[in-house]
Structure 1
């Protein structure tokens, strides 16, 4: 998330995780693709240790699946019934988060949300749909974090990342940005019912 003026310094492990995450979101690493630790280590110029850490991290996020004696692979596409359940669970978590934000967000935090929307529009303008997806996630993660901190983020994050393997709904930039703007505007007006309605509409 690029809302702070100070640039966050990422560790090598986090940089590798971010690249693999982007590869999966972009479809460069398709579902069920097996990952080779040695090839990944060679690609990023590191030992296998950091690669194993990244595999563990992305497995916790639901993007990878790791089995004993079988190595790691990109997780499979969800069964439609499971996808529907995960959408419901994610929606329930985000509605809970919105309820916690009543009269809680500061003017600076609302401005941060506006900045994220500007970044979302910019990514659409560049037709960088991988970045669109990542910024979309960062928008919701920002709200989840403000509502419940790392504890709530850690409950929510695997759902949203796992759902990305099934994610096909790329709307027009106008529609996508407008959906998120409705959430922000409702929060600015302290209209929690409207914010919940907009959130439910956006998660589908």
Structure 2
């Protein structure tokens, strides 16, 4: 008998942050776009206080940049050399995470959750919802990072992956993306950490 996935209850601020992430990932909010607190407060029907909290959160994630007396804006696209550096830093963190799973192997429940994420990834491709593809892709990696090192490791890793997304073009075919993630998962299921590391390195580019 199949079990339904639990519904995650998000606070209002988390919902707003998630919507703005989607707007940035989709390109609806382009790099360097200035954000107006008053307009955002009106859009979401809130006071400016919670909007400021969301802006601070997204600034810590690397999606926004805040400057004194200038307000907040969507972060800029990285120049190629810095993008390459960001990719290498993210790879190093994820390789560290995969190798850490030697001492904290995934459980049957973990594999079921990761399979569910990959099903969601395929479903997003089938709907041609490429913003959701990106977010679901991130959630797969986030799950592994959290399993390996908890919130501390996630907090180191997350700004890199989110900032990199500003440079990404839309993925329009599912086979390569989904297959790469299935390869990571299968290697972990087989207990083959070396192959899982190779698969992670190949996926992050």
* TM range, smaller chain: over 0.9
Aligned to 2:64: 64
User: How does the TM-score come out when normalised to structure 1?
Assistant: 0.97
Aligned residue for 1:166, secondary structure, equals coil
Cα deviation, 1:110-156, whole Å, max 9, x if unaligned, reads 11111111100000000000000000000000000000000000000
Partner of 2:154: 153
Distance 1:4 1:55 in 2: 33
Partner Cα distance (1:156, 1:147) in 2: 12
Give the C-alpha shift of residue 72 in structure 1. 0.3
Q: Which residue matches 1:176?
A: 177
Structure 1 unaligned regions, length at least 5: none
Provide the secondary structure at the position in 1 that maps to 2:5: coil
1:7 aligns to what SS in structure 2? coil
Deviations 1:169-198 (A, max 9, x none): 625201110000000000000000000000
For residues 134 and 145 of structure 1, what CA distance do their matches in structure 2 show? 16
Residue in 2 that maps onto 1:115: 116
- Please tell me whether residue 187 in structure 1 is matched to residue 162 in structure 2: no
Structure 1 residues 16-55: aligned runs within 5 Å: 16-55=16-55
TM-score (norm 2): 0.96
Question: Which has the larger displacement, 146-155 or 6-15?
Answer: 6-15
Contact 2:64-2:75 within 8 A present in 1 as well: yes
How many angstroms apart in 2 are the aligned matches of 1:16 and 1:4?
26
- What is the aligned residue count? 202
Does the 8 A contact of 2:117 with 2:136 survive in 1?
A: yes
CA deviations 1:41-96 (Å, max 9, x no partner) are 00000000000000000000000000000000000000110000000000000000
In structure 2, the gaps of 5 or more residues are none
**Segments of 4+ moved more than 6 angstroms:** none
